[in-house]
A and B are shown apart, each in its own frame.
Chain A
């Protein structure tokens, strides 16, 4: 049990859209230096939870605390310490990689010299040095993802939220990224890691949060989850907790639907 000041506390947070609960009474904490995995089926409420944590959407009930203070009390200073990689590669297509980093850096009020130095170094490390002046519209999905990662850590944040950061990355870059996560955690950053790649979550994360049908079903280290539920791996745990139908049955039904006659 962590005894110091928690970096992030989500307490009884709920969000209701037109009468339908997208997130229902979710609570968890993240300590500095901790990597917490956040997994769940599509539409379970992961992205809504992340939007509430980043302050983009206000919760219907509950609150989010950053270092003990509600984030909505001083949203701007909270965002100054937040690094966020969104689920989709939302980047201005007419800007180049360097221009995008400079735009974000300037709006974060990073000094010009420091910004240029950090941008150059990050682009070099991400293997995008020769693409720095090319418009982002020409980048591959993996390259866009690397730009998003560089943008998220450009200002040396204390809390990092990564929503599917590995999508589109090649094997080597994915490996670099996993090592980067470990390094960042060792540097005292709190990391919320959302992914559908359960093998990596199992290897990298200290704790795993499982959300299904808008409610949090589990909050424990991956090994402890497997042990408690007496299941061999995290994938089985995920299937059990999210009350998923047998995948083979689902596949068979899809094939039957494909062959169904019009009448």
Chain B
């Protein structure tokens, strides 16, 4: 295909040897008209639909938006790498290079962050991964096989999630490989991408498989079940992100003691792949079991997704064209119960009007629902994290100052996110909630730095927190190691990993009894006891006791 600046174009003897750039551009465009296969057209179309924005003053195309979002999401881990450089080169106050176990903690944080991003994007964009009404009506009457539509959607989904995965991890991968391990550049880079790719695949497929189940429910049940499941998934993802700086330092103790708690920490499984492929030493061998578990989990989640998603896709496509069976709503049973519930809490008519406005209008719009889910889950995860962290403060005074970081940065994030909603050129997830038009086209440009600022501050909060939480004692000092392991493992399960102790007094007695008798609570409690057992082993270890001066 001859292009504008190809030798063939330049040397070709034309009838008009001197032409404007506009004319030349037109010529090259006409001569370069390629006919793309329909699958390519569909993938491009679906990909652009994920970033669809009907606002007139949107100046960015889907590819630009994807790059901007991915790049801004990649900044926090890149900042973390930059902060770790002195430590990697032994330039910090203690002058000791970062040990492989400490590097494993960094890898744990990187993959937790990237996969939280991918998981959240997958959960919040779920409705668009299924056939939409427009697709059914516009593309449904065209001569395209249904199979092609399905695979086009699937490929576009993979491309969309892959963009976020790579964007949120690539800058950190380049930097960490460049700074950490200069003699194993290719291997380290490939390992980083492999671990992240597998974890991204696991996170996205497991979230989407769970959401696919809801697509097969009746419409009434689905409307309730989908937001609840989305909320639960987002809360889990955010909790794993917020707790990762706290859990990462316990990684060595947990891995070497073959703790069962690791089976509840997906990030640890994929850190296992990372370390197993990267290191051929004893560290790599220690992670072998986790690596195997990670691969098995990825295969299972992928299989579940490949089984459930086509069913969900088919069910939704059929319901769009043929409608869903309607059942009579039991109006007489619902209205009295709702009014009874509302009467004591919302005595004024204006309050009830506001309640109905929110419940029946805002929460039924997918975009607003996604925003409210995101906000409530972020608040929940943050509250849980802060509660846990503030309880540690009482034990570890040196954490007191740094525990303000998550609070301040989250406030900064909320403020900047509210500014992002006026960004006309933003994608669906962060579009402004008011439908009013904004006359100045520069509003988007003003809001963009705010979005970036929020993006930089909020996800990097745990990393900053962790970096500033360091004890002045060098990390490789044996005394510190033992104290750290004992302290983390012994106190953390009781104080940090026991939010039920803080919550139970607030609950009624029956609820507490039910809660304590639930199987999940026993599993949770068992995990805590297991940790305490490890800590006791460390305590009674003669070497540890001698180091502690006992």
Q: Does A51 contact B (CB under 8 A)?
A: yes
Contact status of A137 and B54, CB under 8 A, knowing A54-B141, A92-B49, A103-B45: yes
Contact of B382 with A by CB under 8 A: no
CA distance A92 to B132 in the complex (A): 11
Contacts of A226 in B (CB 8 A): none
> How does the 8 Å CB contact mask read for A85-116 relative to B, with 1 for contact and 0 for none?
01010111110000000011011110111001
Instruction: Kindly provide the distance from the CB of A54 to the nearest chain B CB, expressed in whole angstroms.
Output: 5
Whether the Cβ atoms of A90 and B133 lie closer than 8 Å is yes
Residues of B312-328 at the interface with A, using a CB-CB cut-off of 8 Å, are 321-323, 325-326
Whether B134 and A108, one on each chain, are in contact in the complex, defined by CB atoms closer than 8 angstroms, is: no
Q: Which of B116-150 contact A (CB under 8 A)?
A: 133-134, 136-145
Nearest to B142 among chain A residues (CB) is A107
| Interface size range on B against A | 20 to 34
Asked whether B35 lies within 8 Å of A111 as measured between CB atoms, the reply is yes
- A57 to B137: give the CA distance in the assembly, Å: 12
Q: Tell me, yes or no, whether A238 is within 8 Å of chain B by CB.
A: no
Q: How far is the CB of B448 from the nearest CB of chain A, in Å?
A: 19
B145 contacts which chain A residues (CB < 8 A)?
76
Is there an interface contact between B143 and A76, defined as CB atoms closer than 8 Å?
yes
Contact B138 A90 (CB under 8 A): yes
- Tell me if B's interface is mostly helix, strand, loop or mixed: loop
Chain B residues 375 to 398 lying within 8 A of chain A, measured CB to CB, are none
Q: In the complex, are the beta carbons of A112 and B54 less than 8 A apart?
A: no
B28-51 contact mask (Cβ, 8 Å, vs A): 1 or 0: 001001111010011001001100
Name which residue of chain A comes closest to B32, CB basis. A112
For the complex, give the distance between the alpha carbons of A57 and B321 in Å.
Answer: 7
Contact among B34, B38, B321, B322 with A107 in the assembled complex (CB-CB below 8 Å): B38
Q: Does B154 contact A (CB under 8 A)?
A: no
Per the bound structure, the CA–CA distance linking A10 and B324 in Å amounts to 26
Residues of B within 8 A of A56 (CB): 136, 140-141, 321
User: Any chain A CB within 8 A of the CB of B56?
Assistant: yes
Smallest Cβ-Cβ distance to A152: which chain B residue: B141
Distance, CA A134 to CA B56, complexed state (A): 8
What distance in Å separates the Cβ of A158 from its nearest Cβ neighbour in chain B? 13
Tell me whether A12 is interfacial, beta carbon within 8 Å. Answer: no
Compute how far the CA of A107 lies from the CA of B45 in the bound complex, rounded to whole angstroms.
11
Tell me, in angstroms, the Cα distance from A135 to B53 when the chains sit together.
10
Taking CB atoms, residues of chain A closer than 8 Å to B137 are 86, 88, 90
In the complex, what distance in Å separates the CA atom of A76 from the CA atom of B54? 31
Interface residue? B236 (CB, 8 A): no
Interface status of B219 (Cβ within 8 A of chain A): no
A selection of 22 A-B contacts at a CB cut-off of 8 Å is A17-B323, A51-B321, A54-B140, A54-B141, A56-B140, A76-B143, A82-B141, A90-B138, A91-B138, A92-B52, A92-B134, A94-B54, A94-B58, A103-B45, A104-B138, A106-B38, A107-B38, A107-B41, A107-B139, A108-B142, A135-B56, A137-B56
